[in-house]
Amino acid sequence: MEKRLRQSRSRSDVNPRVVGLIPARMGSKRIPAKNVRRLAGHPLVAYTISAALQSDVFDTVVVSTDSEDIAEIATHYGAEVPVLRPFEMAGDTSPDVDWVTFTLNQLAAGGSHYDAFSILRPTSPLRQAETIQRAWAEFQSDAAADSLRAIELCTQHPGKMWLLEADRIVPLLDDGGADPPWHSRPYQSLPPIYVQNASLEIAMTRVISETGTIAGRAVRPFLCRGDEGFDLNDPSDWLLLETLLADGDARLPEVRSPRDR
């Protein structure tokens, strides 16, 4: 198989160079050291590295981390860690655009330039190689898209959410005077609303300099299937995933040892 998945594209006759970026900082309050916590025999980050490598979409798979220990684990599983992320870009509130820009600049300084990048977060370990392949194909089919972002139907509809103002609550969304109002209607009768998940994002590198963001203005939706968007946010999510795996109701990407690549 070629280094990257080659298909008929409408974006360009030339296949762009694309890098997979996996953010894996050490700090995590709700699930301590979650990126390297073992799940079914491997550190959590190993599943995202493996899915990225097996997708054959990327010219390079890079882990962005502030930790020497995570860097060693990442390289063991086949990713590259050209430089550690600065401490000031590894906090709870550090915006993605900062570490993405830093990483792309460091790669460029070493002679590696990329037309597009994808962010693949370790907290979505059920994302498969074929998920990434499908997303890349969809992104490439839309020449007008600045980026692509994974979404799923929201389970708590914002039409039933409220803002607290003094001793009153007011609807979060303007339903345009619907009768009955959205907050008093069954979920099934409300317009479908989607929420982003952490599974994946893809963007043209140019959007960072053009808009100062990692999304740009024209964002293509990528609708996750099944459990592709499952996200590990707290200990209860971890316990649920372990149960799903034990019961055979979920599947992790295959993790290959370095000698098998």
Which phi and psi angles does 164 have, rounded to 5°? -90, 120
Extents of the domains making up the chain: 18-152+196-260, 155-192
Which amino acid, residue 200? L
Question: Do residues 208 and 107 touch, judged by C-beta distance below 8 A?
Answer: no
CA dihedral 125, 129, 133, 139 (to 10 degrees): 20
CA atoms within 13 A on the CB side of 250: 21
Give 217-252 pLDDT, tens digit per residue.
Answer: 999 999 999 999 999 989 999 999 999 999 999 999
Q: Answer yes or no: CATH 3.30.420.40 is held by domain 18-152+196-260.
A: no
pLDDT, tens digit (0-9, with 9 covering 90-100), for 154-168: 999 999 999 999 999
Return d(Cα 89, Cα 179) in angstroms, integer: 48
- Summarised one tens digit per residue, pLDDT across range 3-22 is 444 443 455 556 899 999 99
Q: What is the pLDDT of residues 59-115, one digit of tens each?
A: 999 999 999 999 999 999 999 999 999 888 877 778 999 999 999 999 999 999 999
Q: Token digits for 151?
A: 């979404």
What's the pLDDT at 10? 58
Query: Which pTM was predicted?
Result: 0.90
